[in-house]
Amino acid sequence: MLCGIDEAGRGPIAGDLVMAGCVLHTAIDGLNDSKKLTAKRREELYEKIVQNSTYHIVKFSAAKIDEIGISMCITTGLKEIIQNIEASRYLFDGNSSFGVKNLETLIKADATIPEVSAASILAKVAHDIDMLELDRSYPEYGFAAHKGYGTAYHVEMIKKHGYCDAHRKTYKIKALEPTLF
């Protein structure tokens, strides 16, 4: 029995890092890397995955990411998923196991292995829901549109309004760095 693991929100400058582990109980048609699916299709598949799997979702806030770093958050999340989901194999999308024992890795597993695709969708939908909630709390930043990534608009809004609690303050943004000349 395989537990697929993936994450969403590693690269944004705001919002949570969301990780998901998933063991499918039945085959689900249409699974793929969450980034290759429309938001509507991801949401449809999310419901099917929840109904036909054992899964565990882990979230790390921007403050936690700033406190311990993104790599330690990923390591902690991987260990928590393994502790909470019983499987004979654990497969994480990517090329690093972050030092976690009994964890296999595979680049592009989210596009080729159904359990990892399912985990990718669970993480992405959960992340997007969180970003919509942040957008309601901090509408001036436009989180619903850019999902926390460092777009030109997002950087301009940080320049105008400063950081909010959802921002990862340890992430260096070149456009916000003071210039020497």
Number of Cβ atoms within 10 Å of the Cβ of 169: 14
Domain-located, residue 181 = no
Give percent of the chain with pLDDT exceeding 90.
89
> Residue 28 maps to which CATH number?
3.30.420.10
Domain-located, residue 152 = yes
Domain-located, residue 35 = yes
Q: In which domain, by residue range, is 101 found?
A: 2-173
Instruction: Please tell me the total count of domains within the chain.
Output: 1
Nearest CA among 173, 170, 63, 51 for reference residue 122? 51
User: What pLDDT shows up at residue 174?
Assistant: 74
DSSP state of 105: E
Domain-located, residue 78 = yes
Average of per-residue pLDDT across 19-36? 95
Q: For residues 72 and 67, give the distance between their C-alpha atoms in angstroms, rounded to a whole number.
A: 10
Domain-located, residue 178 = no
Domain-located, residue 42 = yes
Average of per-residue pLDDT across 1-28? 97
For 100-158, how does the pLDDT look when each residue is reduced to its tens digit (9 = 90+)?
Answer: 999 999 999 999 999 999 999 999 999 999 999 999 999 999 999 999 999 999 999 99
